Structure 1
Amino acid sequence: MNVLLIHPPSANPLLDKVYMHEPLALEYLGAGLKEDGHEVEIFDARLEGSIEKAYHRFRPDIVGLTAFTSHVRIVKAMAENLKRLDPDLLVVIGGHHATVSPEDFNVHGIDLVVVGEGVQALREIARFAEAGENFSAIRGLGLVRAGAEILLTEARPYTPLDALPVPDRSLTRRHRKHYFSEWLQPLASIRTSLGCTSRCNFCALWPITGGKYLRRSVASVVDELKGIEEPNVFFCDDESMCDVRRMDALADAIDGAGLRKRYFLYARADTVVSCPELFIKWRKIGLAQVFIGMESFSDERLGRLNKGISIAQQRNAVRYLQDLGLIVYANFMVDTDFEKEDFARLTAHIRELELQHVGFSVLTPLPGTELYRQRRRELVTENPELFDMVHAVLPTRLPLSEFYSRMLDLYTKSLPLSQTVRSLARFGPLRIWKQLALLSSFSRYLKKAHLET
């Protein structure tokens, strides 16, 4: 069968210029389908033109779509358009939002919703479709029923990660030079684990796996790294360093294999502080940048988020990583209850930490999180496009226009000008002007964001 896998664009195209990682989940799906003899294409709508042209050229029997919460209406519209082209087309939706809120896709234009791990589910869907069998026997599905509640089949346990195929990166070969994160371009992505051992109330990643932390073997990760051509590799694990022993062994194995790349990964501040020798080892094999979710500027606020770290650990982690020569990318959550003094305290905290690179997201109760269950009734909008961590979907204490004005100040005043210049210099002479234009566009966007909420 011909299967077309589609990665949707962001609701705001500007966000796809801030970073763009390869559609790794679709590469996993494609690899599994190709093992079963199906023809597969990936359509990256962030980079490509008309889906209709792709449909007419490839003539798929099945279309698979993926979506985060902010993509919900976008993929629904895509599904409806594809169904107009071919009413007999089998349209399947999966991904994060489909797993936490499958009922949101119980609509005309979509036939099946994959809940949970999708590689084996989609392989079974293709096999059942080819044989004309009833999909209700497949675990981990939502069967769309017009005018009635979605019918959920028996839950599917997550496939052991080593049992999954290696992602087929040949399916995105024509686009690989375009995938990036900040100055790291071209950038490949690799997943070595799934889930997280922490219990932050704003995160849906650990509930999806039932609180389990799933791991790949060291040997399988090294084998996959050997096949990656890009010089930069992003570990897109929910939390890379949870299993310290495994990551220590992985560093040894990468070094022993003679792999020489630059690595970018997520780590918690408490892990850095408790296992500094691990980061020494990773620095020696190519670790260049560490993303840390700092989230807030006080122990009290961190406690509200159930983050499980302290301000002291933040300070020590930043100091230690910077002493190793690593770039620290810190992200903070801007709570909608912030007053003017809170914005000032956050700015002062960032200055005190002497950070090199900083990002901000608006605290957002995403479906599937404990925060969503706690505060759903307070939402000022249910427009899924606004659940992008930029728009305030909870009431703000400050007038909305002032809230965003102070958000913009965080970007322009939290780092000294000298540090901003050094960060921009990492892009090199060919990309720095595009980055300056992007910063200007993002500033204009933030100034108007209050008008969209």
Structure 2
Amino acid sequence: MDVLLVRPRPDRETIGLQHVMVCEPLELEYLVSNVPDGIRNRVNLEICDMILEKEPFISIVMRKKPDLIVFTGYITHVGTIKDMCAEVKRLFPNSLTGVGGVHAEVVPEDFIDPSLDFVYSRNGIDGFNITLEGMLKGMSPAEIRNNIESSGEMKLSFVYRHPDRESVRKYRSEYYYMFHRPCALIKTSYGCPYNCSFCFCKEITGGKYFTRDLKDVMDELEGIGEKEIYIVDDDFLFSKGRIREFLRLLKERGIEKKFLVYGRADFVAENKDILREFRDQGLQAVIVGLESIRGQDLDSYKKGTDIDVNERAAKVLLELGIELYATLIIPLDFSRKDFSDLTSWVRGLGIRFVNLQPLTPLPGTSIFCEYEDKLLYPRERYEMWDMAHVVLKPEHMGTRAFYLEIVKAYYRIVMRPKNVLALIRRYGLGMNLKMLSGSSRVTMQYLGKVVRGI
């Protein structure tokens, strides 16, 4: 039986972070490695990463004539995946199709479509294996769906084999995150222990949080060839005891890697000593959701931090020489003065990288219902939900002007001469030129919004 596992290329309308980062499809690698031993020799699995693949998707399908095609994607991929499935069904009506990933788990109804046979809304690895077993036994799609539905509640423990990184050998050298090249992913926990109102992460596990055994994490790290490691936990900097044990095991095993992690501002502000130890064992950068320069915004987001905490966190990372990748949400009541204040505040803290995201109430989050009647676009314009489009009407300026203020703020922060020279010294001219090329493509997409107003 031939099976294709596909990560689609984003829609052209989607403002693409893939211009500055393309990470490995970890969820598909887990599917490959966790096929039961009893059927592994009866199934031919191939991952097609269409972000990097040169051969057109339809050409691959015509050549492989797969029995099953399973897609992964976010909300921005919903329309694209449905279109790809419809094309598969047109060419090969007997081929079966499925979809998994975080959006399928939280808002599975978005994938209801005649061209999609299976939507893996929980325990995707198990659901995929049930599909394989059912197909090999000659079951109908309806029988397989019934088996998937009766397979039990969401698992809150990690009982799976490590991802099969060899399954993307042809693409591996091209996976990166900004200056971290080449870069591998690892996940050591699931869910988030916090309750921010705008966050999609906590919805994936129904608000539950659980961690992997760190010895198993070390076993996986030892098998990763890349030096740069992106730990994609929703919040790796959570438990002081767990981080210290992580560092102890790194030293005990002689593992030397460079790490990029997510972390909250309050942890960073209060734990300079732990971060210093982590830096000495490879911590290069921390992605921190500073979210806002206004206290009332932080309160409404249920962030549990304040401006002072954010400022202290930025200073700690600056003093330790750890790169800060700051994310900030831009509320729709921002005026030009607010944009100016934000720019001055960020520059004053010495922050060199920002991701400025217009407030986006993602379907599936607790704040979506508050804004559902204020959307600029139909809910079904999935390609627009990239947290870069303005999907709600700005209060103090037009949409075009709002996009332009975002672009101006970004360039005033990231492209100021002092910043550029520091980045060249740290990462080299070649790496910076690649980043400039990628960020310029994103800028052109934004400028297109300024011109067209959509």
TM-score range, shorter chain: over 0.9
- The answer (yes or no) to whether the contact 1:191–1:236 under 8 Å persists in 2 is yes
Alignment of 1:68-147 (within 5 A): 68-133=74-139, 134-140=143-149
**Shift in Å at residue 276 of structure 1?**
2.6
Q: What is the distance in 1 between the residues matched to 2:443 and 2:72?
A: 29
Using CA pairs under 8 Å that are at least 6 residues apart, name the structure with larger relative contact order, 1 or 2. 2
**Shift in Å at residue 281 of structure 1?**
2.0
- The answer (yes or no) to whether the contact 1:24–1:167 under 8 Å persists in 2 is yes
**Shift in Å at residue 285 of structure 1?**
1.1
Q: Choose which of 175, 178, 182 in structure 1 pairs with 2:178.
A: 182
**Shift in Å at residue 194 of structure 1?**
0.8
**Shift in Å at residue 29 of structure 1?**
1.0
Q: What is the distance in 2 between the residues matched to 1:345 and 1:430?
A: 33
Q: What is the distance in 2 between the residues matched to 1:223 and 1:128?
A: 32
Instruction: Give the AA of the match of 1:384.
Output: Y
Superimposed CA distance per residue, residues 396-430 of structure 1 (whole angstroms, 9 cap, x where no aligned partner) = 12111111111111111135421133225544333
Superimposed CA distance per residue, residues 178-218 of structure 1 (whole angstroms, 9 cap, x where no aligned partner) = 11111110000000011111111111111221211111001
1:160 counterpart = 2:162: no
Instruction: Give the AA of the match of 1:367.
Output: P
Q: What is the distance in 1 between the residues matched to 2:341 and 2:67?
A: 56
1:47 counterpart = 2:49: no
Q: Choose which of 312, 335, 353 in structure 2 pairs with 1:357.
A: 353
1:402 matched residue in structure 2? 401
Q: What is the distance in 1 between the residues matched to 2:343 and 2:432?
A: 25
Secondary structure of 2:99's counterpart equals strand
**Shift in Å at residue 154 of structure 1?**
7.2
- The answer (yes or no) to whether the contact 1:21–1:179 under 8 Å persists in 2 is yes
- CA spacing shift, 1:431–1:279, aligned 2, 3 Å: closer
Instruction: Give the AA of the match of 2:238.
Output: C
Identify which range, 13-22 or 44-53, moves more after superposition: 13-22
Q: Choose which of 230, 237, 252 in structure 1 pairs with 2:233.
A: 237
**Shift in Å at residue 294 of structure 1?**
0.6
Alignment of 1:412-431 (within 5 A): 412-415=411-414, 416-431=416-431
1:170 matched residue in structure 2? 166
1:341 counterpart = 2:337: yes
2:383 matched residue in structure 1? 385
- The answer (yes or no) to whether the contact 1:18–1:182 under 8 Å persists in 2 is yes
Q: Choose which of 25, 28, 31 in structure 2 pairs with 1:29.
A: 31
Q: What is the distance in 2 between the residues matched to 1:58 and 1:33?
A: 20
**Shift in Å at residue 362 of structure 1?**
1.5
- CA spacing shift, 1:347–1:78, aligned 2, 3 Å: same
- CA spacing shift, 1:379–1:91, aligned 2, 3 Å: same
**Shift in Å at residue 321 of structure 1?**
1.7
**Shift in Å at residue 334 of structure 1?**
1.2
Q: What is the distance in 2 between the residues matched to 1:445 and 1:315?
A: 31
Secondary structure of 1:307's counterpart equals coil
Unaligned runs of 5+ in 1: 141-152
Unaligned runs of 5+ in 2: none
- The answer (yes or no) to whether the contact 2:106–2:203 under 8 Å persists in 1 is no
- CA spacing shift, 1:99–1:413, aligned 2, 3 Å: same
Q: What is the distance in 1 between the residues matched to 2:434 and 2:354?
A: 19
For the aligned residue pairs, the C-alpha RMSD in angstroms reads 1.8
Secondary structure of 1:4's counterpart equals strand
TM-score, normalisation: structure 2: 0.93
Instruction: Give the AA of the match of 2:359.
Output: L
**Shift in Å at residue 136 of structure 1?**
3.9
Secondary structure of 2:34's counterpart equals helix
Q: What is the distance in 2 between the residues matched to 1:428 and 1:299?
A: 37
- CA spacing shift, 1:311–1:195, aligned 2, 3 Å: same
Q: What is the distance in 1 between the residues matched to 2:426 and 2:32?
A: 34
- The answer (yes or no) to whether the contact 2:423–2:432 under 8 Å persists in 1 is no
Instruction: Give the AA of the match of 1:112.
Output: F
Superimposed CA distance per residue, residues 372-411 of structure 1 (whole angstroms, 9 cap, x where no aligned partner) = 1221121111211010111111111211111111111111
* Aligned-residue identity in percent: 30
**Shift in Å at residue 53 of structure 1?**
2.6
